[in-house]
Amino acid sequence: MGIAISNLSVKYGAETVISGLSLDIPEGCFFTLLGPSGCGKTTLLRTIAGFAPASAGHIRFSGRDVTELPPHKRAIGMVFQDYALFPDKTVADNVAYGLRARGEKGPGVEQKVKAALERVGLGHLLSRHPAALSGGQRQRVALARALVIKPAVLLMDEPLSNLDAKLRVQIRETIIELQREANITTVFVTHDQEEALSMSDLIGVMNKGKVEQLGTPQEIYATPRTGYVADFVGAANRTEVAIRPASAGLVEVEVAGSRIVATDALDGPAERGLLVLRPEDLKISAAPAEGRQSLPATIRGRQYLGARTSYSVECAGGLVLNAEMHGAGHDAFLPGASVHLGFDPAAARVIRS
Amino acid sequence: MKRLAATTLLLTGLAAGASAADPVIYTTNPVPAVEAVQAIIKEKTGLTTGVITGGSGVLLRRIEAEKAAPQGDVFWSSSANTMGAFKEVLEPYASPELEAVPADLRVAEDYFQPANVHVVTLMVNTDQLGDVPAPTDWKDLADPVWKGRIILADPANSSTGYTIVWGLSKLLDAETYKAVVANLVVSSSSSAVPKGVAMGEYAAGITFETNSYSYVDGGQTEISIVYPSSGTFTTPEYSALIKGAPAGEDAKKAIDALLSKDAQIELLKVAFRRPSRSDIQVSDYVKLPELSSIKVFKIDEDEAAANREAFLAEWASLPTAGSSE
Amino acid sequence: MTRADLRSPWPWLSILALALLAVFVLYPLLYIFTASFLGEGRSGWLQLVEDTRSLAAIRNTLVLATVVTLFSTLIGVPLAYVSARYRFRGKLFITLLPLITLVIPEVVTAQTWLMILGNNGVITRFFKGYGIILPSFYGWFGLITSMSFIYYTYVYIGTVAAIGKFDAQLEEAAQSLGTAPVRSRIHVMLPVILPAILASALLVFTMVVGNFAISMILGHNVPLLSIAIYQAAVSEGVSNLTMQSTLASTSVLIVMAVLFLNRRVIARGRYEIVQGRGAKPQPLKGGQGVLVSLAAGFVVAVSLLPLVTIAVGAFTVSRGPVLRWGDWTLDNMARVFITAPGPLVNSILYAGIATFISVAFSTMVSYLVVKKPNLITPLIDYVSAVPLALSGTVLGVGLLASFNSGFLALTGTSTIIVLAYVIRRMPFGMRNGQAILHNIPNSIEEASISLGSPPLRTFLRVVLPMMLPAVASAAILTWTTTVSELSASLLVYSGGRETLPIQIFRLIDSGLMAYASAYGLVLVAVILVPVVVATTVFKVDLFASK
């Protein structure tokens, strides 16, 4: 079941949290709303669920307008950040709750509950109470509870943020498996870019109540269309530059006293723009590399991170960039060393500021 | 919620409905007295009576409020002055039992029926006297050694207290009256008077003999009752038929039973209420003197009632020992 | 509000709740206020400024409340401190303190104090033997002493809770910075727990203003506000609706002013109370331990004395008002259960119904206020707190006057008694309910709804079971306080509908202490049995939500 959102506005009192938002989520898609806290992503999710009323616009599930439908009639499954398990009910009763609310009775319920819990690897904990479960187990129960009712739409509000790093990766996998298996349209809210990039079919990066960029994880990461997206998804060096058009798809800009060629992602003509350089696209070398444009610079500081080293590099005119080196000898440069920062025109993107 | 409210109303209805047909007595009397009288009414008429208790003001106002649909049948008992203001919700009834009551106690038209006679006494706790001789008359209480040792109910909110102070003002000369008043401690609760003396809080209290005698009867030997030699005050108490009494003739039967010799004897024995009837020898039943042997100072109840406000204003200006100011 | 909102049950329930509150809380209050201005004859306020006795009553009430508040704090705070921070012999008894105040009717307490310190009291006579004359217990001395020894427990409870929550690490931090232990306590702990102390002190102040039973028995000729209201309402002469309304309004205004102050204090102090790791009580040994045990033991013994008195009195032979100490009998108890069981039955019935209604209503309404806010829920919240400003006497006068006749004539029914109980307890039920609900995350409820359970079913199946333990403790506290309610029910009850406290009050008033003790002992049992059963059998934590 696809979700179509058109011209949606949501207000809390006098404050407009979401204004005029339109979005199409195809059927079976794992869709992630990514953004910092306060960007409106949770509000959007709650509006899709029906918990936050829309002040204008429409939400349609497979073409059916659900904007005015109370949440309990929307056939959604929802997973919460704090698990929201019913503390007075056993694991089995938690999972059976939605089925019983639908009037299902008898051994059928038991079978479905058992199957759902076995699917998340908790078939042995049927009669436990939530208080006796670990965080990861609780979230698995919550997942089973949301999925056992075969919802049309699965909504997840930062379901992994209360878990520790290792568990997070495990449950991520469980979620994706289950989602693919049921081929259920899923809206996943997170502020964690790694989660978003690793799990999603589509990502909507949200900022101030609007979807700033919509695309596949690859598109979002490799071709950010705004400075905000570039900065929020992955790390990025950003600097304001003057633009001169060059050949097709390329522009010429001046940075740190040098002229360089960069990819034109401006979406139309402009005189000034934002140059975006990802740290991992910057190659540090002692001498300028053959056939690659580069900027002369000095190493100012470094952080050894095991698999890589992160350098703080100062170019002419005081511009400080962040560069990351991988592979053999990534920690070879010491503070004070004079180096060259090389990069491909494809890795240097100029976008509208 | 709604179902609950309905249940509550139902329960209320049941409680009220249980005794709807039986006469209901609105009474100011204490539990033992009421129970004794209920037993007599049952014995004499076979009627089971319901009882609603409270202060006379509360009950009479309630009768007034219910005049459109009276809930009670008999009011028992208060002073004629208090009841006088509520005549329109009461109904005269010349009970045949009134034959046995002296004429001077009866009221015009037999609007109310004299039920018993209260006699004002000095209740003395001899343990608390110390070197002070026991008082025999009001004027003894004028001595400054009594300062703060005599308790009296506040005339401003107790009709007993009012009767006593009004009587004293008439009986004593102005100087002695002021000296006595200066020694008094005033209590806002009239029941605190006998209790205060019995517990030894005060050496003497001015209270009805029914109250003081209950401690003598209880066996508290240090309590003695003094009938002041220059005369004391009496107040008859009355019962009355409530106008439009739902129990009809049964209400009258209840009053007859209330005034009967048996009832008055029982009341005398249980609650030490001096009968209004002249055919009962008090000393046959309790260790109280006959009314004829007590010197009574007659007070004009009508005059007392008419001058109430002016008298209380004057009273308020007199210093008492227990004045909080 | 959108159309979708109006389809849910909550707006309608909110309207219903507000309507009920308007009829049963606001209407009586407004009735009193208007009657004070527009009663018979001149405005009550004009009469008031000329009535020296009423003015004295107001002044005395304020003075009494101030002094008792001060003494209660002086007793309650140190006791709370030693019991929160130290272990010593007999500490268990001190933890029972809150229960003692709950179970002993104030009338009995007042009477017992008279037996000890009255003109003929045990201690008074002892001192008299040495030629020392103690001041009369009636009036100021008795009022202050007996009230202080009852109300200090409220300060105690409030302070113990605050010290328990106080993060001992703050104290350790202060010490690590070079402050001596005593100094660090005064400088670090006191400011943090001060709002709690002040809040409970102000509570004591309002309780003294509203106190009826002790004022009635010990006040004697000290004019006090609550007694003046009561007497204006039940005086033998003509009823003075204007004056009783004016005095009642005065009481309401005083308490409202204090509550306003309280709100300011709590609002200011709220950020300061940070839940932290409480300190582990330290054992006190040697002379210090004995001293603390003795002092604390004395306070507890004094609080317990009335209980001992009624336990003995209940089985003592009596004739009329005279008790034959040393002669034992079961007659008094037989009276309570066989001859005249009415008050017992009434108390259980009325308090039972009131507890049920009160808990159901306040649970439902706190749910609306916390979880389903709309335009009228803040109003509901305010109005349901109004009874805090009404002393029992004022509430009784208000109910009596406004439901005497007219569209809802309740005078003389048992409904009005139940109503008085429910209204008096409602603010506490609401506070309790809201505290619980704030602890239940919204997501739990949304989880249920997202699973297809409609809102009302969600409330019943998910929220209510989660609230249950706290609701149970609220129900028990409501029961204990309604069963012992006197001042409001004394005004609205009618014959045949006497409750245990009313019967006790009347019997004490008639001087029949033996009967009064028997009813008193049964009252204590009626209060204690559910408490004991709940805490031991069902493991209900009575102060779960405090």
Residues of B in contact with C12 (CB under 8 A): none
Q: Are the beta carbons of A78 and C4 separated by less than 8 Å?
A: no
Tokens linked to B30: 């204490």
Interchain CB contact of C318 with B (< 8 Å): yes
Q: Which of B82, B188, B323 sits opposite C219 (nearest CB)?
A: B188
- The SS3 call for residue C408 is coil
How many whole angstroms separate alpha carbon C293 and alpha carbon C89? 6
Reported for B6-11, long-range contacts at CB under 8 A and 24+ positions apart, including other chains, are B7/C353, B8/C353, B8/C357, B8/C414, B8/C415, B8/C418, B9/C415, B11/C349, B11/C353, B11/C414
Query: Tens digits of per-residue pLDDT, C166-185?
Result: 766 666 666 666 666 666 66
Residue B19 has pLDDT above 60, yes or no: no
Phi, psi at B203, each rounded to 5°: -80, -30
Q: What is the DSSP letter of A29?
A: -
Residue A103 has pLDDT above 50, yes or no: yes
Query: Tens digits of per-residue pLDDT, B91-150?
Result: 999 999 999 999 988 998 999 999 999 999 999 999 888 888 999 999 999 999 999 899
Optimal mutation site among A48, A58, A72, interface C, most CBs of chain C within 10 A: A72
* Greatest Cα-to-Cα distance within chain B, rounded to the nearest angstrom: 70
Hey, which chains touch C, using 3+ CB pairs under 8 Å? Answer: A, B
A205 Cα to chain C: minimum distance (Å):
24
- What are the angstrom distances between the C-alpha of C347 and each of B174, C173, C504? 52, 53, 12
Rg of chain A taking only CA atoms, in angstroms = 24
Q: Are the beta carbons of B202 and C119 separated by less than 8 Å?
A: yes
- Confidence (pLDDT) at A153: 93
Q: What is the mean pLDDT of residues C475-483?
A: 88
The chain B residue lying nearest C112, using CA atoms, is B199
Residue B18 has pLDDT above 50, yes or no: no
Interchain CB contact of A98 with C (< 8 Å): yes
Q: What is the DSSP letter of C23?
A: I
**Cis status of the peptide bond prior to B77, with omega within 30 of 0:** yes
Cβ neighbours for A80, distance < 8 A, ≥ 6 positions apart: A142, A157, A159, C443, C446, C447
Interchain CB contact of C436 with A (< 8 Å): no
Query: Tens digits of per-residue pLDDT, C80-110?
Result: 888 877 777 777 777 766 667 666 778 778 8
The one-letter amino acid at C57: A
Interchain CB contact of C16 with B (< 8 Å): yes
Decide if C487 contacts C210 (C-beta within 8 A): yes
Rg of chain B taking only CA atoms, in angstroms = 21
The one-letter amino acid at A34: L
- Confidence (pLDDT) at C269: 52
Predicted confidence band of residue C319 (pLDDT cuts 50, 70, 90): confident
ipTM exceeding 0.85, yes/no = no
Interchain CB contact of A130 with C (< 8 Å): no
Predicted confidence band of residue B3 (pLDDT cuts 50, 70, 90): very low
The three-point CA angle A12-A17-A23 to 5° equals 130
How many whole angstroms separate alpha carbon C267 and alpha carbon C259? 12
- Confidence (pLDDT) at C266: 62
How many whole angstroms separate alpha carbon C358 and alpha carbon C340? 28
Query: Tens digits of per-residue pLDDT, B158-178?
Result: 778 888 999 999 999 999 999
- The SS3 call for residue B324 is coil
Interchain CB contact of C510 with B (< 8 Å): yes
Q: Are the beta carbons of C451 and A145 separated by less than 8 Å?
A: yes
Q: List the beta strands (DSSP E) in A148-269.
A: 153-157, 185-190, 202-207, 210-215, 237-245, 250-255, 258-265
Across C191-220, b (16+ Cβ under 10 Å) vs e yields ebbebbbbbbbbbbbbbbbbbbbbbbbbbb
How many whole angstroms separate alpha carbon C437 and alpha carbon A128? 24
Q: Are the beta carbons of B199 and C118 separated by less than 8 Å?
A: yes
How many whole angstroms separate alpha carbon C434 and alpha carbon C427? 10
Optimal mutation site among A80, A85, A102, A154, interface C, most CBs of chain C within 10 A: A80
The chain B residue lying nearest C362, using CA atoms, is B1
Tokens linked to C370: 């916390």
Q: What is the mean pLDDT of residues A321-340?
A: 90
How many whole angstroms separate alpha carbon C84 and alpha carbon B169? 62
Decide if C487 contacts C226 (C-beta within 8 A): yes
Residue with token string 């306080």: C481
Residues of B in contact with C219 (CB under 8 A): 188
Q: Which of C56, C357, C511 sits opposite B4 (nearest CB)?
A: C357
Interchain CB contact of A189 with C (< 8 Å): no
Q: What is the mean pLDDT of residues B178-205?
A: 87
- The SS3 call for residue C434 is helix
Q: What is the mean pLDDT of chain B?
A: 85
Residue with token string 């030490």: B272
Tokens linked to A233: 């998804």
Optimal mutation site among C236, C364, C413, interface B, most CBs of chain B within 10 A: C236
Q: Which of A72, A76, A87 sits opposite C454 (nearest CB)?
A: A72
How many whole angstroms separate alpha carbon C505 and alpha carbon B191? 12
Interchain CB contact of C376 with A (< 8 Å): no
Q: Are the beta carbons of A98 and C468 separated by less than 8 Å?
A: no
Decide if C36 contacts C242 (C-beta within 8 A): yes
Residue A97 has pLDDT above 50, yes or no: yes
Residues of C in contact with A86 (CB under 8 A): 444, 447-448, 462, 465-466
Percent of chain C with pLDDT over 90: 18
Q: Are the beta carbons of C4 and A53 separated by less than 8 Å?
A: yes
- Confidence (pLDDT) at A250: 86
Rg of chain C taking only CA atoms, in angstroms = 24
Residues of C in contact with A89 (CB under 8 A): 465
Predicted confidence band of residue B6 (pLDDT cuts 50, 70, 90): very low
- Confidence (pLDDT) at C239: 54
Examine chains A and B and say if they touch (3+ CB pairs below 8 A). no
Query: Tens digits of per-residue pLDDT, C298-314?
Result: 877 777 777 888 888 88
**C160 or A129, higher pLDDT:** A129
- Confidence (pLDDT) at C265: 67
- Confidence (pLDDT) at B40: 92
CB atoms within 10 A of CB C115: 17
Q: Are the beta carbons of B324 and C138 separated by less than 8 Å?
A: no
Interchain CB contact of C447 with A (< 8 Å): yes
- Confidence (pLDDT) at C39: 62
Optimal mutation site among C119, C143, C368, interface B, most CBs of chain B within 10 A: C119
How many whole angstroms separate alpha carbon B168 and alpha carbon B210? 20
Among the residue ranges A125-139, B225-239, C39-53, C475-489, the one predicted with the least confidence is C39-53
Residue A39 has pLDDT above 70, yes or no: yes
Optimal mutation site among C450, C457, C461, interface A, most CBs of chain A within 10 A: C450
Q: Which of C118, C319, C357 sits opposite B218 (nearest CB)?
A: C319
Q: What is the mean pLDDT of residues A283-307?
A: 89
Decide if B51 contacts C495 (C-beta within 8 A): yes
Among the residue ranges A146-155, A301-310, C184-193, C426-435, the one predicted with the least confidence is C184-193
Q: Which residues pair with A244 in a beta bridge?
A: A252
Interchain CB contact of A88 with C (< 8 Å): yes
C451 Cα to chain A: minimum distance (Å):
5
Residues of A in contact with C447 (CB under 8 A): 78, 80, 84-86, 142, 145
Give me the helix-helix angle, C241-269 and C27-38, nearest 10°.
130
Across C317-345, b (16+ Cβ under 10 Å) vs e yields ebebbbbeeeeeeebbbebbeeebeebbe
Interchain CB contact of A266 with C (< 8 Å): no
How many whole angstroms separate alpha carbon C109 and alpha carbon C1? 54
The one-letter amino acid at B298: K
How many whole angstroms separate alpha carbon C361 and alpha carbon C376? 16
Q: For chain C, what's the residue count? A: 546
Query: Tens digits of per-residue pLDDT, C443-462?
Result: 998 999 999 998 888 988 89
The one-letter amino acid at B264: Q
Q: Which of A69, A86, A101 sits opposite C452 (nearest CB)?
A: A101
Q: What is the mean pLDDT of residues B250-272?
A: 93
How many whole angstroms separate alpha carbon B275 and alpha carbon B292? 13
Decide if B151 contacts B143 (C-beta within 8 A): no
Q: Are the beta carbons of B53 and C222 separated by less than 8 Å?
A: no
Residue C9 has pLDDT above 90, yes or no: no
Residue B229 has pLDDT above 90, yes or no: yes
Q: Are the beta carbons of C452 and A73 separated by less than 8 Å?
A: yes
B185 Cα to chain C: minimum distance (Å):
8
How many whole angstroms separate alpha carbon B57 and alpha carbon B78? 9
The chain B residue lying nearest C221, using CA atoms, is B187
Decide if C316 contacts C327 (C-beta within 8 A): yes
- Give me the sign of the Cα torsion angle B276, B282, B284, B287: positive
Q: What is the mean pLDDT of residues B32-55?
A: 86
- Confidence (pLDDT) at C174: 65
Q: Are the beta carbons of B198 and C404 separated by less than 8 Å?
A: no
Query: Tens digits of per-residue pLDDT, C64-78?
Result: 999 999 999 998 898
- The SS3 call for residue B221 is coil
Q: What is the mean pLDDT of residues A259-273?
A: 84
Decide if B157 contacts B116 (C-beta within 8 A): no
Residue C57 has pLDDT above 60, yes or no: yes
Q: What is the mean pLDDT of residues A269-286?
A: 88
> Could you say which residues from 223 to 282 on chain C have a Cβ atom under 8 Å away from some Cβ of chain B?
223, 227, 231, 234-239
- What are the angstrom distances between the C-alpha of A200 and each of A32, A158, A194, B315, C317? 6, 14, 10, 94, 87
- Confidence (pLDDT) at C409: 76
Decide if A295 contacts A315 (C-beta within 8 A): yes
Tokens linked to A211: 């979807």
- Confidence (pLDDT) at B218: 84
CB atoms within 10 A of CB C131: 6
Tokens linked to A325: 């080196």
How many whole angstroms separate alpha carbon B206 and alpha carbon B201? 14
